[in-house]
A and B are shown apart, each in its own frame.
Chain A
Amino acid sequence: MRGYLRQDGQKGIRNTVVIAYLIECARHVANEIALDFRGRDVHVIGFPGCFPNSYAFDMMSKLCTHQNVGAVLLISLGCEGFNREGLAEIVAASGRPVETLVIQQNGGTAGTIGKGSKWVRTELDALSMQKPVDMAIEELVVGTICGGSDGTSGMTANPAMGRAFDLLIAEGAAGIFEETGELIGCEHYMADRAATPELGAEIVNCVDKARSYYETMGYGSFSPGNADGGLSTIEEKSMGAYAKSGASQIVGLIKPGDKPPTGGLYLLDVIPDGEVRHGFPNINDNAEIAELMACGAHLNLFSTGRGSVVGSAIAPVIKVCGNPETFRNMKDDMDVDAGRILEGRADLDEVGREVRDLVLAVARGQKSKSEMLGHREFILGYKSFDPIGPACLPNVA
């Protein structure tokens, strides 16, 4: 593998210029600048809210200093609550070129687009001169998520991705799985897989938090449609999602923005702490992908049955399609046809190896289907978290 070396020693598998808007009011300017660079590695991310939020600030800090990011342009309207100076300092301290353009101080929309465009062109040219260096699998962080699921996801795509996770983790990579609200009923089983009993207790508590959060939201997870598809119990449904995690030992429990300190399998707790304040934990799949990226995922495996098409800014998304019919209908969007398993044309181990090989190919620079189609979705909302407990991370000597 090859990677782009950053000042802190981490390596990216892409060398992207990020344009970050710090308030919805600055989004149009950010998008217009990016339009000048269609087809090149210039991605737009941002935070739409005017009221400051420490989770959002931390997420933006981690995303602007993500391994795949080489340079950052911040676009501010000028009067929003976001701490743009603080963010610029963090990016500068990471050794990345950073520029802040305040629309109110740069002649408005047209003036800011002109200046921003010029800055991005210079940085993009500079980044294209950077020579990649060798990168080991031990330096790779892979996330996993499912969206647009159907009955096939838990039979083919998720367990195949679990097999791929087992292979990558055995080779030294870090893997992150998440959506604790969809793991209700699996917590004791997960606790048994935890590296220490203390970590196991933290995992049980975190799923318990998810259950009470969703209860407050009035959110039920088991529907009659699930039973029609052959699912008999809530824990069976959860196990289908949980199959993405494979069979490796769980070495840590992290929250958005925490980076896995070692290789191995990590559970990401995405449910806010404290009372229910900001609505649904993650309003769509890209909100989850943003959190996986903030934890350092270089790329994300995405299983789907009904057929999601999303990709992401910053980190490539690889689609593993569980339903063979969906694969035939949406071939250009899907990277892996895990539905072959249902039709007896492949087994789980075979598809697991294919997913693992594709992860490494995409890490080496091959474009995933969603990248080829130009998908660069991004969303970030309000949340609040307490820090993780002392038993949550492996002891690093």
Chain B
Amino acid sequence: MNKSAHANTILLAPTDNVVVACEEISAGSSIEVEGSVITVKSDVGLGHKIARHDISPRDKILKYGAPIGRALEAIGEGAHVHTHNIESDYLHSHTGRQNPENEG
């Protein structure tokens, strides 16, 4: 495991606004992303996403350099980014949720 003081995360593309946890990370831990130190706001599991900086409501969430959905609310730096605060920009039939704001 990483010996550094910071918990281990991965930035998959330079333009991403989220990083992915490479281990279980507890609330209050610090992570380092491209030289910036960020405090993680809540417990985050392996493979889950953490906001790299403040994200405004309706902003696109970028992972792998590509949009994977949109923020439902303001998401602060270091917050867990998941189904509670983002939604698919995509077809309802595949998430089982209606998504009327995203027509077209």
Instruction: Report which A residues bind B (CB closer than 8 A).
Output: 151-152, 154-155, 159, 184-186, 189, 211, 215, 220-222, 227, 229-236, 239-240, 242-243, 247, 341-344, 348
Residue of B nearest to A227 (CB): B83
**Residue contact A155 to B20, C-beta cutoff 8 Å:** yes
Known: A185-B90, A220-B94, A221-B94. A151 touches B69 (CB 8 A): no
**Residue contact A343 to B22, C-beta cutoff 8 Å:** yes
Known: A152-B47, A155-B22. A232 touches B64 (CB 8 A): no
Known: A230-B20, A232-B83, A343-B2. A186 touches B66 (CB 8 A): yes
Going nearest first, the 4 A-B pairs with the smallest beta carbon separation are A344-B2, A230-B47, A230-B48, A236-B68
**Residue contact B95 to A222, C-beta cutoff 8 Å:** yes
B1 at the interface (CB under 8 A from A): yes
Report the minimal beta-carbon distance from A223 to chain B, rounded to whole angstroms: 11
Cα-based distance from A343 to B88 in the complex (angstroms): 30
Known: A233-B95, A239-B66, A342-B22. A155 touches B82 (CB 8 A): no
User: Which residues of the partner chain B approach A230 to less than 8 Å between Cβ atoms?
Assistant: 20-21, 45-49, 82
User: Which residues of the partner chain B approach A247 to less than 8 Å between Cβ atoms?
Assistant: 65
16 contacts between A and B (CB under 8 A): A155-B10, A155-B12, A155-B22, A159-B64, A184-B90, A185-B91, A222-B95, A227-B83, A229-B47, A230-B20, A232-B69, A232-B81, A232-B83, A242-B64, A342-B46, A344-B2
B17 at the interface (CB under 8 A from A): no
**Residue contact A233 to B68, C-beta cutoff 8 Å:** yes
**Residue contact B82 to A235, C-beta cutoff 8 Å:** no
A155 partner, pick from B47, B66, B94, beta carbons under 8 A:
B47
B94 partner, pick from A222, A231, A342, beta carbons under 8 A:
A222
Residue of B nearest to A247 (CB): B65
Cα-based distance from A303 to B2 in the complex (angstroms): 24
Cα-based distance from A240 to B20 in the complex (angstroms): 12
Of A235, A247, A341, A344, the most chain B CB neighbours within 10 A belong to A235
User: Which residues of the partner chain B approach A220 to less than 8 Å between Cβ atoms?
Assistant: 94
Residue of A nearest to B62 (CB): A239
Cα-based distance from A240 to B13 in the complex (angstroms): 12
**Residue contact B46 to A343, C-beta cutoff 8 Å:** no
Known: A230-B49, A234-B90, A235-B90. A344 touches B1 (CB 8 A): yes
Residue of A nearest to B85 (CB): A232
Q: A159-B12, A235-B69, A342-B46 are in contact. List 5 more A-B contacts (CB 8 A).
A: A151-B47, A211-B94, A234-B88, A234-B95, A247-B65
B89 at the interface (CB under 8 A from A): yes
User: Which residues of the partner chain B approach A236 to less than 8 Å between Cβ atoms?
Assistant: 63, 68-69
Give chain B interface residues in 23-78, CB to chain A under 8 Å.
23, 45-49, 61, 63-69
Cα-based distance from A343 to B45 in the complex (angstroms): 15
**Residue contact A234 to B64, C-beta cutoff 8 Å:** no
**Residue contact B68 to A211, C-beta cutoff 8 Å:** no
User: Which residues of the partner chain A approach B88 to less than 8 Å between Cβ atoms?
Assistant: 185, 232-235
Report the minimal beta-carbon distance from B32 to chain A, rounded to whole angstroms: 12
User: Which residues of the partner chain A approach B20 to less than 8 Å between Cβ atoms?
Assistant: 155, 230
User: Which residues of the partner chain A approach B47 to less than 8 Å between Cβ atoms?
Assistant: 151-152, 155, 229-231
**Residue contact B91 to A211, C-beta cutoff 8 Å:** yes
**Residue contact B91 to A234, C-beta cutoff 8 Å:** yes
User: Which residues of the partner chain B approach A229 to less than 8 Å between Cβ atoms?
Assistant: 47
B90 partner, pick from A215, A231, A233, beta carbons under 8 A:
A233
Residue of B nearest to A344 (CB): B2
Cα-based distance from A235 to B90 in the complex (angstroms): 7
Report the minimal beta-carbon distance from A34 to chain B, rounded to whole angstroms: 42
Report the minimal beta-carbon distance from A38 to chain B, rounded to whole angstroms: 42
Cα-based distance from A243 to B12 in the complex (angstroms): 10
A235 partner, pick from B1, B67, B93, beta carbons under 8 A:
B67
User: Which residues of the partner chain A approach B23 to less than 8 Å between Cβ atoms?
Assistant: 342
Report the minimal beta-carbon distance from A152 to chain B, rounded to whole angstroms: 7
Cα-based distance from A86 to B60 in the complex (angstroms): 54
Report the minimal beta-carbon distance from B39 to chain A, rounded to whole angstroms: 20
A232 partner, pick from B2, B45, B49, B66, beta carbons under 8 A:
B49
**Residue contact A234 to B94, C-beta cutoff 8 Å:** yes
Report the minimal beta-carbon distance from B14 to chain A, rounded to whole angstroms: 11
B79 at the interface (CB under 8 A from A): no
Cα-based distance from A221 to B63 in the complex (angstroms): 19
Known: A152-B47, A342-B22, A343-B2. A232 touches B8 (CB 8 A): no
User: Which residues of the partner chain A approach B12 to less than 8 Å between Cβ atoms?
Assistant: 155, 159, 243, 348
